[in-house]
Amino acid sequence: MRRAIATVSMAGSLAEKLEAAASVGFDGIELFEADLTYFPGTPEEVAGRARELGLAIVALQPFRDAEGLPLDERARMLDRLERKLDLMQRLGTRLLLVCSQTRPDTTGEPERLAEDLRLMAERAAARGLGLGYEALAWGRHVSDWRQAWELVRRADHPALGLILDTFHLLVRGSPTAPIRELPAEKIVLVQTADAPAIAMEPLFWSRHYRCFPGQGELDVEGVLRELASTGWDGWLSHEIFSDDFRSTSARQAATDGMRSFLFIEERLGRSSMPPRPQAKRLAFVEFVESAERAEPFRATLRALGLPRTHRHRSKRVELYRAGEVAIVLNLEDEGFPHAFQLLHGLSVAAIAIETDAAERARARAAALGATPFVSPVGAGELVIPAVRGVAGSLLFFLDPPRPGSSFHEIDFLPDPDPRPVPDTGLVAIDHLAQVVPPAELPSWVLFYRALFGLEPERRTDLVDPRGPIVSRALESADGAVRIVLNSSPAQTSAAGRFLARTAGAGAQHVAIACRDLLAAARAIPSELKLPIPANYYDDLEARFGLDREFVCALRAAGALYDRIGSGELLQLYTRSLNGFFFELVERRGGYDRYGEANTPVRLAAQAELDRSPAEALTLSRAV
């Protein structure tokens, strides 16, 4: 497979797009004509620049309104075609993408459409060039790839081939199995695009919501498997129209596009990456705070039942542990942690994932386009492989622990003066929730998916009283590593407020599994807990038919409850510190979700506490 990306998939100028595509290793680009129109130079200069960068110009696109026109317009269409063929020769590209007709005043008579395509192919052939015909999902007469193929077959010209676009194919639900019957030499280009599975009019869906394969929910891989069975081995080109991508950099889109190809190739058994490491658990979460302001956070950790067990040998870094839970508190006033703290305030500057092979995980992340990070370490201290993660924070990879070689045994010394904490029965980190800007959500979904094979769930739309939140959870196969990614277009939603307050810090909450949530809740002071309205408990009792005593216990604990089938979830949230909060969970009977049914209650309670002084003042005046 040769990898290309359509220039329309990236933001910025054509020069930036070429640069970006080459920098991440694409072999070619598909030139969207508008990008050339806006380019302040000649087509020959574009060709020269592409050549310098080692990029083939795989195709020029699109040529519209071609077949089935009223007969008196046909000559003009062919003139228009000649001008595009001129342009192709100046660009040094051999393929023109012709998309199916959308005009209503045209004929759908197959003989006539095939004849038009044949006439066009003759013009291209006269110059040694070729055409590819693509069915748009919203084409007037040709909207299914099988119709496009039928016309290409009828036109029967060596300079005319078929272009397949996975988006058009999959949104229409067209069968993909017949692809395996196609003669490979007649498939001149395959465009790859994915999308979230939302019911929407295809034109609007395509123009605004496409994403790279692996980021969405369509079975792009299935189409490529059918193609592979024909022996086809031509150009694959990402063609992504997306509002989100238009608001990121060309480099970001190119990085995501290459990551998508690497991911897909691996699924098709043609991987060029280090083998996938196993994500075993979230081993620790590292917070940064200024030393002078650290006491409230320390008190929160203690109140949750996390004692300070260790201090770092050479740095102002403290370790809090209970069960398998490890929280690092970094109070350094220099280097990366300090810079992160200055920018974001109290926040999560790093997470560590225990894997079966830390160095391989780092190498694979780098192969997937992540930025490597090397921390300064003292003599004899552990070098932990790392890359940049969400919000520029660090993602550490740990090897499996061996006696005496764990990070805390090498870099830390036991705290000489541990303060007692209540026993809250903490077990392990259950999940991590990160907030990312909407344009980055698909990117991070694919990052975790490609790196560790975490499987993304379908998107969930959460109801926040002050703006919508989109959520996608990713889980390892055994459920031991769970990461929830949230994003919101609204600055007023909980996710939006968090990003604004922390200048985009990333991790918003960490959920910790405990053995007995009601017992833990009794040990935790109520001023630490997120207040839950009494109405919630009345509703709960009615909804699940719970016995009164149990509901009273939940209410006294400030806990939330959910039940799906025979699985039950108990949850407890803390108030937030600089937008960050902890959650305690107790999963019973194999409960496998995140308490989504309770999320609106949590979001409303947080919105209530977050009302700004100005708003509170307005309200108090209004009363």
CA nearest neighbour of 124 among 93, 85, 98 = 85
Number of residues interacting with Mg ion: please give it, by CB under 5 A: 5
We find the least distance from the C-beta atom of residue 543 to Mg ion, in angstroms, to be 20
Q: Tokens 């044949």 label which residue?
A: 118
Q: Is 586 in the site for Mg ion (CB under 5 A)?
A: no
Alpha carbon distance 285, 510 (integer Å):
8
We find the least distance from the C-beta atom of residue 346 to Mg ion, in angstroms, to be 19
We find the least distance from the C-beta atom of residue 602 to Mg ion, in angstroms, to be 8
Alpha carbon distance 133, 144 (integer Å):
12
CB neighbour list of residue 615: distance below 8 Å, 6 or more residues apart: none
We find the least distance from the C-beta atom of residue 135 to Mg ion, in angstroms, to be 9
271 class by beta-carbon count within 10 Å (0-12 exposed, 13-18 middle, 19+ buried): middle
Stretch touching Mg ion by CB under 5 A, among 322-330, 345-353, 356-364, 504-512: 504-512
Please identify which residue in 19, 30, 116, 165 interacts with Mg ion, judged by CB under 5 A.
165
Nearer to Mg ion, 363 or 605 (CB): 605
Interaction residues for Mg ion, span 233-272 (CB under 5 A): 239
Please identify which residue in 191, 260, 487, 488 interacts with Mg ion, judged by CB under 5 A.
191
Q: Which two tokens stand for residue 240?
A: 């992504």
Nearer to Mg ion, 152 or 387 (CB): 152
We find the least distance from the C-beta atom of residue 594 to Mg ion, in angstroms, to be 5
Q: Where are the alpha helices (DSSP H) in 191-349?
A: 202-209, 220-229, 243-246, 250-267, 295-303, 335-344
CA nearest neighbour of 569 among 590, 548, 550 = 590
Alpha carbon distance 423, 307 (integer Å):
10
Nearer to Mg ion, 279 or 511 (CB): 511
Nearer to Mg ion, 167 or 320 (CB): 167
Q: In what order do the strands lie in the sheet with 308-312?
A: 372-373, 386-388, 394-398, 347-355, 279-288, 325-330, 317-322, 308-312, 412-414
Q: Which amino acid is at 44?
A: E
Nearer to Mg ion, 226 or 583 (CB): 583
Nearer to Mg ion, 190 or 439 (CB): 190
Stretch touching Mg ion by CB under 5 A, among 256-264, 364-372, 473-481, 576-584: 576-584
We find the least distance from the C-beta atom of residue 509 to Mg ion, in angstroms, to be 6
CA angle (541 as vertex; 536, 544 as ends), nearest 5: 110
Q: Is 511 in the site for Mg ion (CB under 5 A)?
A: yes
Nearer to Mg ion, 341 or 574 (CB): 574
CA angle (316 as vertex; 315, 318 as ends), nearest 5: 105
We find the least distance from the C-beta atom of residue 578 to Mg ion, in angstroms, to be 18
Q: Is 192 in the site for Mg ion (CB under 5 A)?
A: no
Q: Which two tokens stand for residue 488?
A: 């919101």
Q: ω into residue 62 within 30 of 0, thus cis?
A: yes
Q: Tokens 């060039």 label which residue?
A: 129
Nearer to Mg ion, 397 or 581 (CB): 581
Alpha carbon distance 186, 227 (integer Å):
12
| Cβ-closest position to Mg ion | 165
We find the least distance from the C-beta atom of residue 19 to Mg ion, in angstroms, to be 24
Stretch touching Mg ion by CB under 5 A, among 190-198, 216-224, 418-426, 455-463: 190-198
Nearer to Mg ion, 499 or 511 (CB): 511
**Binding interface with Mg ion (CB under 5 A):** 165, 191, 239, 511, 583
